[in-house]
Amino acid sequence: MKAIIRIGMSTSDIAAGAEDTFRAIESAVRHRQLDVTLKRTGSLGASHREPVVDIEIDGQSTLYGPVTPERVTPMLDQHFGAGERGVSDDWVISRKNDRSDYPFLGKQYKVTTKLCGIIDPFSLEDYLAHDGYQALKQALKMPPEAVVQTVKDSKLRGRGGAGFPTGIKWELLRKAPKHPKFLICNADEGDPGAFMDRATIEGDPHKLLEGMIIAAYATGASQGYIYARAEYPLAVNILRNAIAQAREYGVLGENILGSGLNFDVTIKEGAGAFVCGEETALMHSIEGKRGMPSMRPPYPAQSGLWGYPSNINNVETLTSISSIILNGADWYAGLGTAKSGGTKAFALAGAIQRSGLVEVPIGTPLKELIYDIGGGCANGRELKAVQMGGPSGGCIPARMLDTIIDYDEISATGAIMGSGGMIVLDDTVSMVNIAHYFLSFTQDESCGKCVPCRVGTRQMLNILQRLLDGRGRIDDIEKLRRLCYTVGKSSLCGLGQTAPNPVLTTLRYFEDEYLAAVTNDVQGQTKLVAEASV
């Protein structure tokens, strides 16, 4: 009998009590002298059922959660005892290997997160056993131009927010004549409610490194940086371990796998400034300067880190690369829509029955993700809207849930795909309050370099606060619209340019709530005007 027990030990699992569960399982296995392989893994994504434990015997898997220390003994009795049945069906998440009996997992299509919750993120051997670094070996046999063309043909678009075609970005760096060239991974996940990058790194760090090495070969970069949040200590620790393993294995450093490619990776921990998600601000931070954006052009491929050609992709973009090389551009392009290939991961949170990390093909309707996978609103409430794209995004009303997950389709609603934050809002939520929440975050995170963002977002926030306090004036709504236009058009970087989105979309779809906020004041102001005319 071959038995494996996997225990999710990601940040979210640990927050749910996974360390106590792991110790209880470890103690019980030792006490019973079981011939079992214990494996610490990342998160499967089912945050709503963590801590999660997977018991696999002779290839047959049963998934449990949440598993508290008290549930360990009956769970082990079920599999390693004398046939006792002490396990409640409520503890069982899935009894099928493909998870088809649990919609949250069974209805996903995983590419970037495929091995999260399956392998030990501290084990290079585990990654190698699942075709790890095979894509790199295959890519090194191709001309660099062919690798770039494969990525272009895959229709992979940057998963960091704007959706710029990745292959074109790589091509620009490859054609840049100046050397050295730098490759940067943006792991500065700063959106409230977003945790895709963290979960991916904590579950499968070598997939990120493999994507970076392939990108370096394709573009001619010789040095890589991973810009990670210092608030992600577990992810950073896992990355450090993976980098050391990759160097020892010969896929980082000089003359990688005998190909002549020289490339290494350094981790730069950021201090948590949201503006450092913007490319130029991020590069300034790596250089040791204050993280503030610069005018573009020049673009990073022309003059980036320390004035040299640079390329910035986020975690999800780079973790897609190895699968594209192994399975082909046509396969990846076929997963998505005509303009956007592949899958997209989302941090599904808010008033939802089944929260967690979700990965689906681009082109999937929002309704399918929220209801079929997420189970709809929690506590039987009615769904009011979905907030997408974090502080830079917007709110999509429930009546538009047939909208498909696609960069252009989502943008047409006034929201953006963003890095993948998705917050479900029920019918108890004030949309004016939601706009205030996201705008207050953006205003607080503004670097202050340009006046439209620094002053404009503050004035917008003042108006929203006045509305929430019941002091709204007749002309406030029109003032908000004008400010949104001015801030969006004249701000220096993407932070200010997209800051109005939560306000604009709530005004567009829920204007009645703004009007209700000024109704009482309308009567008072009418009376004042009448008295003044007498």
Domain limits, the chain: 3-106, 124-334, 343-426, 443-522
Write out the CATH class of domain 124-334: alpha beta
Q: Copy the structure tokens of residue 366.
A: 């929002």
Residue 464 has pLDDT above 70, yes or no: yes
pLDDT band at 161 (very low <50, low <70, confident <90, very high): confident
Residue 191 has pLDDT above 90, yes or no: no
Selection from 300, 305, 308, 307 nearest residue 169 by Cα: 300
For the sheet containing 310-314, what is the strand order? 264-270, 223-229, 182-187, 310-314
Those residues whose C-beta lies under 8 Å from the C-beta of residue 143, and which sit 6 or more positions away, are: none
Reduced 3-state DSSP string for 450-496: CHHHHHHHHHHHHHHHHHHCCCCCCCHHHHHHHHHHHHHHHCCCHHH
Average pLDDT score over residue span 427-454:
96
d(CA 215, CA 168): 12
CA 166 to mean position of chain CA atoms: 17
Q: From the CB of residue 524, how many other CB atoms can be counted at a distance below 10 Å?
A: 10
Residue 257 has pLDDT above 60, yes or no: yes
Query: CATH classification of 3-106, choosing from 3.30.390.50, 3.40.30.10, 3.30.1280.10, 3.30.420.40?
Result: 3.40.30.10
Which residues, in sequence order, are bridge partners of residue 165?
Answer: 157
d(CA 523, CA 106): 55
- Radius of gyration for the chain, computed over Cα atoms and rounded to the nearest angstrom: 25
- What confidence tens digit (pLDDT) does each residue in 484-519 have? 999 999 999 999 999 999 999 999 999 999 999 887
Residue 134 has pLDDT above 60, yes or no: yes
- What confidence tens digit (pLDDT) does each residue in 333-371 have? 999 999 999 999 999 999 999 999 999 999 999 999 999
Write out the CATH class of domain 343-426: alpha beta
> How far lies 140's CA from each of 133, 216, 400, in Å?
11, 11, 45
Q: Evaluate the omega torsion of the peptide bond into residue 298 and state whether it is cis, within 30 degrees of 0.
A: yes
- 3-state SS, residue 176: coil
d(CA 490, CA 478): 18
Question: pTM for the whole thing?
Answer: 0.95
Contact 389, 159 (CB under 8 A): no
Selection from 312, 125, 337, 294 nearest residue 224 by Cα: 312
Q: Copy the structure tokens of residue 216.
A: 């370096």
Q: What is the CATH number of domain 443-522?
A: 1.20.1440.230
CA 67 to mean position of chain CA atoms: 26
DSSP 381: P
In the block, residue with structure tokens 């220096």: 492
Residue 421 has pLDDT above 80, yes or no: yes
- φ, ψ of residue 363 to 5 degrees: the values are 110, -10
pLDDT band at 520 (very low <50, low <70, confident <90, very high): low
Reduced 3-state DSSP string for 521-532: HHHHHHHHHHHH
- What confidence tens digit (pLDDT) does each residue in 17-52 have? 999 999 999 999 999 999 999 999 999 999 999 999
d(CA 444, CA 269): 21
* pLDDT attached to residue 531: 44
Is the Cα dihedral 162, 12, 107, 424 positive or negative? negative
- What confidence tens digit (pLDDT) does each residue in 166-189 have? 999 999 999 999 999 999 999 999
**Is it true that 343-426 and 443-522 share their CATH fold?**
no
pLDDT band at 85 (very low <50, low <70, confident <90, very high): low
Tell me the pLDDT of the chain averaged across its residues: 94
